[in-house]
Amino acid sequence: MRDGDDYVIDGSKMFITNGTWADVVLLFARTNDTPGHKGVSAFLVPADAPGLTRRAVHGKLGLRGQATAELALEGVRVPASAMLGPEGKGFAVAMSALAKGRMSVAAGCVGIARAALDAAVRYAGEREQFGKPIASYQLVQELLSDIAVDVDAARLLTWRVADLVDRGEDFATAASQAKLFASEAAVRCANNALQVFGGYGYIDEYPVGKLLRDARVMTLYEGTSQIQKLIIGRALTGVSAF
């Protein structure tokens, strides 16, 4: 709501990455009654603004080293000068941020997948069953090869997005493709690595359980895998399904 030279904002949002660490919040709020996304504006809001409270989210399946928070705003006054771009153009800001965010998620997924590969290969060479390393068994090699292919494919898709960014070309659809594949691949890689470890993969003594927990959320944030498919489908057909 506009009040003189300020906007007064009320509302709440869950699952804010680094929400308890950040000094500044990128906030999207509806500033007029225009239907759909055209009524949304973007603001930069200091995290210590009066009326803004942050609560850490505990009990997460994975990413336990990352601060995730719920933000609540009660009568937070934000000067109009803190608005990013024109009023009602916040959706464009959000889409730009999301496209870059998807590239970042894809890169993180490549890291998880590669860590799973390294751990599985190392363990397969060290662990012995029936007098020889399990790396010598065909089905273990199959698991390792599946992980390796996913790692390389995810990496190449992510490199393609980075190249488009460097050349100043549109990268939104490519970012969705990279994020979709890399996030699903990270889950597959971590799960296959856990299979290589057998029962030991299920305990905290080894890293693959953590990798699987961390990978799982990658298919959810910055747009779920299902949303990425709709974005890609819209780019292919010119028809929006949402």
Distances in Å between the Cα of 204 and the Cα atoms of 118, 194, 210, 223 are 17, 12, 8, 30
Please state the separation of Cα 96 from the chain's center in Å. Answer: 15
User: Directed axis angle between helix 138-166 and helix 172-197, to 10°?
Assistant: 160
Distances in Å between the Cα of 180 and the Cα atoms of 23, 34, 135, 152, 185 are 30, 32, 30, 15, 8
Using an 8 Å Cβ cutoff, are 91 and 34 in contact?
Answer: no
Known catalytic residue at 169: no
Strands (E), the chain: 2-3, 6-17, 24-30, 40-46, 52-56, 68-79, 83-84, 128-129, 132-133
Of the candidates 126, 128, 169, 222, the residue annotated as catalytic is 222
Q: What is the largest CA-CA distance in the chain?
A: 79
* Structure tokens, 225: 């895998």
Active-site residue list: 222
